[in-house]
Amino acid sequence: MRCAPPGVNPAGASQIVVISQLTLRHEHRQAMVDHVRSLWPEEACGLLAGLDGQVQRVYCIENIRHSRYDYFMDPNQQVRAMLDIEAAGWEVCSIFHSHPAGQPLPSATDVDRAYYPDAVYIILAPASGSDWVMRGFAIREGQVREVQLNSVP
């Protein structure tokens, strides 16, 4: 995503609420894994909406680059998802994408393009067999910090 974040903290760093964990239901993890697996070996991407660190809905969005090494969300789908999220009273709490042949860690490009300081960047990567692993990160001003991903049924 290359657009500026809608709510960039005009008041200064002291106003940033530090997100230390994100809670996902099993169905959310499953929806993300199904999406990234179905598009392998291309990178897949999407948004998670929720409130207060609790994910409520997964939005799978087309990677218009159709690349194994890069992603760019379809702007129309992204806007539609954002409007839906706003109408539901949620916020974008996470931006996820896959590294089909890599590790679940932010690349230098991911850090450069982390325009949403309040979002958790989730990266999925293949594990053994048909499994996928996911890890979450807060990326602010080039600093990467892991965010705990909690699972609930």
Q: Minimum Å distance from CB 99 to Zn ion?
A: 5
For residues 108-127, which are near Zn ion according to CB under 5 A? Answer: 110
43 tagged catalytic: yes
In sequence order, what are the beta bridge partners of 46? 60, 96
Judged by beta carbon, residue 9 or residue 107, the one nearer Zn ion is: 107
Q: How far is the CB of 152 from Zn ion (least distance, A)?
A: 26
Q: How far apart are CA 35 and CA 120, in angstroms?
A: 18
- The answer to whether 131 and 139 have CB atoms below 8 angstroms apart is no
Binding footprint of Zn ion, residue count (CB under 5 A): 2
Q: How many residues does the chain have?
A: 153
Contact between 8 and 113 (Cβ < 8 Å): no
Catalytic residue among 27, 42, 43, 62: 43
Measured from the CB atom, the residue of 25 and 65 that comes closer to Zn ion is: 65
Neighbours of 26 (CB within 10 A): 10
Q: How far is residue 9's CA from residue 88's CA, in Å, rounded to a whole number? A: 22
Q: How far is the CB of 59 from Zn ion (least distance, A)?
A: 18
Q: How far is the CB of 123 from Zn ion (least distance, A)?
A: 6
How many other β-carbons are positioned within 10 Å of the β-carbon of residue 116? 22
What x/- string results for residues 67 through 106 when contact with Zn ion is judged by CB under 5 A?
Answer: ----------------------------------------
Residues acting as catalytic residues: 43
Site residues (CB under 5 A) for Zn ion?
Answer: 107, 110
